[in-house]
């Protein structure tokens, strides 16, 4: 990118296009979180389980996001890795109230972290400990412990409690991800 392009971006006259991959087990709330990021008049009340994947668009901090909202059902999880190479960031969503399946989420995370297209890249990962509104849901600290996040030392990561139904925690998480993606893209220049 030339000096003029950098200057135009710095002025906020042009947004940078970035891709994010939204993954996590089925029923964790991925599509609901993305629905919350839509303009109020475009939000849907009827979110069905995703088949394959859908794309959504939103903007934050001078970045124009294309989000790949992947299905979390086991038969579709093999699709996730097709998008690893081209993604600028990852949103990993966990149902904090689903304690019986958190170990499966941990296994899926381990598979992600050792994938050749991910392992050596400093790709930012935002974890949403979603469904914080449900009684007895794990806290963000509890989810972090259950997933073993402390062992991720070569990537920027952050965990936020969220409620996709009323949006609590969503903006904080997306703002962190935007800043982290900007830093990693600037470092790669």
Active site positions, annotated:
73
Measured from the Cβ of residue 25, the count of other Cβ atoms closer than 10 Å reads 21
Q: Are 88 and 123 in contact (CB under 8 A)?
A: yes
Pick from 49, 52, 116, 148 the residue near ligand GTP by CB under 6 A: 49
Q: What is the C-alpha separation between 123 and 169, in angstroms, rounded?
A: 21
CB of 187 to ligand GTP, least distance (A): 31
Handedness of CA 97, 99, 100, 102 (dihedral sign): positive
Q: Please report where in the chains the tokens 């989000």 appear, as a residue.
A: 67
| For Mg ion, the closer CB: 68 or 180 | 68
Q: Which of residues 101-160 bind ligand GTP (CB under 6 A)?
A: 130-131, 133-134
Q: Residue 96, interface with ligand GTP (CB under 6 A)?
A: no
Among 28, 31, 130, 162, binds Mg ion (CB under 5 A): 31
H helices of the chain, in order, are 3-10, 30-36, 102-113, 116-119, 140-147, 170-188
Pick the piece of the chain touching ligand GTP (CB under 6 A) from 29-37, 84-92, 99-107, 142-150: 29-37
C-alpha to C-alpha distances, 173 to 7, 33, 117, 169, nearest whole angstrom: 27, 11, 24, 6
**Count of residues that bind Mg ion according to CB under 5 A:** 3
* Residue 161 binding partner per list Mg ion, ligand GTP, none, with a CB distance cut-off of 5 to 8 Å that depends on partner kind: none
Binding-site ranges for ligand GTP (CB under 6 A):
24, 26-32, 47, 49-50, 71-73, 93, 130-131, 133-134, 163-165
Residues forming the site for Mg ion (CB under 5 A): 30-31, 50
């Amino acid at each position: 990118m030339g000096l003029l392009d950098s200057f135009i971006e710095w002025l906020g006259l042009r947004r940078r296009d970035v891709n994010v991959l939204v993954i996590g087990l089925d029923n964790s709330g991925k599509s609901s979180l993305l629905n919350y990021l839509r303009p109020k008049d475009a939000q849907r009340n009827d979110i069905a389980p995703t088949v394959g994947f859908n794309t959504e668009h939103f903007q934050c901090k001078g970045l124009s996001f294309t989000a790949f909202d992947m299905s979390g059902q086991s038969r579709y999880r093999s699709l996730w890795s097709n998008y690893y190479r081209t993604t600028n960031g990852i949103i990993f969503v966990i149902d904090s109230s689903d304690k019986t399946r958190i170990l499966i989420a941990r296994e899926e995370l381990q598979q992600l972290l050792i994938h050749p297209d991910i392992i050596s890249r400093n790709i930012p990962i935002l974890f949403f400990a979603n469904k914080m509104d449900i009684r007895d849901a794990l806290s963000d600290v509890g989810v972090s412990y259950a997933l073993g996040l402390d062992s991720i030392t070569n990537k920027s990561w952050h965990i936020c409690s969220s409620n996709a139904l009323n949006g609590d925690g969503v903006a904080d998480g997306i703002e962190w991800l935007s800043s982290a993606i900007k830093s990693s893209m600037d470092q790669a220049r």
